[in-house]
Amino acid sequence: MNAKDPLLAARGDDPLAGYRLAQEPFYRPARNEIALYEQAYRHRMPLILKGPTGCGKTRFVERMAWALRRPLITLACNEDMTASDLVGRYLLDADGTAWHDGPLTMAVRYGAICYLDEVVEARQDTTVVIHPLTDARRVLPLDKKGEVVHAHPDFQLVVSYNPGYQSSAKDMKPSTRQRFAALEFDYPDAATESDIVAHEAGIAPALAERLVTLAHSTRALKHHGLDEGASTRMLIYAGLLIRDGVSPADSCDMTITQALTDDPDTCQALKQLVQAKFAS
């Protein structure tokens, strides 16, 4: 679908072919985030997407990569991730040792959007490698290889995190945070969220509306027994089970109640909410 970059066309291959989105991801904008992202990408500005789990941050990045006709390389960050997992390493092969680019290096070298999901889960000594990419230098030093990779003109770095789960041990350093622009995400309004749930789960709009009403009730319990309310993703999971014939009570218990909490009293309160929403 996407035309190859001139350099890659000349080489006759496309190292990022597997990262190009063939179809438009379904996404319903909540505000003006699409226009703001487009302006940020014009300047290849590094971006932070912050918002609760399951509110559509990843789907938004996928939608923008498709619209901008750029490959998307996504990494789910975790505390075991090392700098080598990002930039690459020497590996043994039939001819001895050979350098293998990591996903970040591939994005930088060939011009992809690199998306680091839940970046605060990675160790700070790992994420510091992105600093030279987020200022005017736009370079990635490969110390083990003795190479400095200058970012492809189309490269952009995007990271995300959930502020609700932040702690002093897992906070983004100011020296990192201030290198990014930021877009704040939240769950969409009820009508938009119902439309998303109905489309993604393949259920009737009326059922989607009930699920969204249930979600709003759980979100009101944030800091009153729950760290987070039901996400849009959870509603889609519940809708899929209900569509396949599982009762609403069992569907919501499996995908919402038991997923949100282990506390018996809170579980019981959530079950009562489900019963009230689906009593008729």
User: Cα separation of 30 and 36, whole Å?
Assistant: 12
Q: What is the domain-level CATH number for residue 112? A: 3.40.50.300
126 with 43, same domain: the answer is yes
User: pLDDT grade, residue 8 (50/70/90)?
Assistant: very low
Residue 75 lies in a domain: yes
Highest mean pLDDT of the ranges 116-130, 202-216, 218-232 = 202-216
Residue 268 lies in a domain: yes
Burial class of residue 108, CB neighbours in 10 A (0-12, 13-18, 19+)? buried
Residue 201 lies in a domain: yes
Would the pLDDT of 67 be above 60? yes
163 with 38, same domain: the answer is yes
Residue 1 lies in a domain: no
Burial class of residue 3, CB neighbours in 10 A (0-12, 13-18, 19+)? exposed
135 with 171, same domain: the answer is yes
Residue 221 lies in a domain: yes
Q: In this predicted structure, what is the pLDDT of residue 34? A: 97
Q: Which of 143, 169, 184 is the last residue of a domain?
A: 184
Cβ–Cβ < 8 Å for 112, 140: no
User: pLDDT grade, residue 280 (50/70/90)?
Assistant: low
123 with 227, same domain: the answer is no
The candidate with the shortest Cα–Cα distance to 112, out of 178, 66, 145, is: 66
User: Cα separation of 233 and 55, whole Å?
Assistant: 7
Three-state secondary-structure class, residue 170: strand
User: Cα separation of 213 and 151, whole Å?
Assistant: 46
Overall number of domains in the chain: 2
53 with 161, same domain: the answer is yes
75 with 162, same domain: the answer is yes
Would the pLDDT of 59 be above 60? yes
167 with 266, same domain: the answer is no
115 with 131, same domain: the answer is yes
Q: Which of 139, 156, 184 is the last residue of a domain?
A: 184
Cβ–Cβ < 8 Å for 88, 75: no
Q: What is the mean pLDDT of residues 229-252?
A: 97
38 with 169, same domain: the answer is yes
Reported as a single tens digit per residue, the pLDDT across 13-30 is 889 999 999 999 999 999
Range of the domain at 59: 6-184
Q: Which of 124, 156, 184 is the last residue of a domain?
A: 184
168 with 222, same domain: the answer is no
Q: What is the mean pLDDT of residues 212-217?
A: 96
Residue 205 lies in a domain: yes
Reported as a single tens digit per residue, the pLDDT across 150-209 is 999 999 999 999 887 655 456 777 888 899 999 999 999 999 999 999 999 999 999 999
Highest mean pLDDT of the ranges 91-105, 169-183, 243-257 = 243-257
13 with 118, same domain: the answer is yes
251 with 227, same domain: the answer is yes
Would the pLDDT of 2 be above 70? no
User: Cα separation of 212 and 199, whole Å?
Assistant: 13
Would the pLDDT of 9 be above 50? no
Q: What is the dihedral of CA 11, 105, 41, 73, to 10 degrees?
A: 90
